[in-house]
Amino acid sequence: MKGKFITFEGSESCGKSTQSKLLYEYLKASGYDVIFLREPGGTRISENIRKMLLDPDNKSMSCQTELFLYMASRSQTVKEVIKPALGQGKIVVCDRFLDSTVVYQGYGLGMDIEFIKVLGDFVTEGIKPDLTILLDLPLKNALKGIRQKDRIEKRAFAYHKRVKGGYLEMARQEPERIKVVRLEKDKMETQGKIRALVGKIL
């Protein structure tokens, strides 16, 4: 892989979409060949899977179904978009990736984390981010900002607390790849910290 793969992670409504898009626009304006993706999504098939996963009406979805749907969406995105782009030397900025599944379905739902990692390695074809930005915002502040909640956002506070704890544990395990960035009131101040980290890998 000749390109660079940058992912954004964090709890619900922590600013991932805003910060990842700001980085994408900055890199694009700086002359880099860059693409932006969100997960689940990024391809026609993946976007259709996303609708199923986040639909609040799908209350009966099992943990196993949820896990495999996330992985199926990711596999399609890797094959269609991420792997070809990295092979062409592009920068890929992605809002969520495999870490989300390890944390949300592993730490959050109590599924076997090692199994998730093995399955994840299979569907991603071994592709790993060069840098992961983990956005840190007090959980209660993040959840307050959600007006219309999807199926995952509707889960109990205790679930989201386990998710955040999982993220921080992963950051402790992989400090070279996962960089914790605390959100500031000024979004551009936060973005400045992110750009400094990205500059070190480009």
Phi/psi region, residue 51 (left: phi>0; alpha: psi -120 to 50; beta: rest), is: alpha
Q: What pTM was computed for the model?
A: 0.95
CATH code where residue 135 lies? 3.40.50.300
Structural domains in the chain (count): 1
Domain membership of residue 148 as a residue range: 4-199
Tell me the mean pLDDT per 10 residues along the chain, length 202. Answer: 93 91 98 97 97 96 98 98 97 98 98 98 97 90 73 91 96 98 95 98 96
Write out the DSSP string of 4-43: EEEEEE-STTSSHHHHHHHHHHHHHHTT--EEEEESS-SS
- For residue 139, what pLDDT is reported? 79
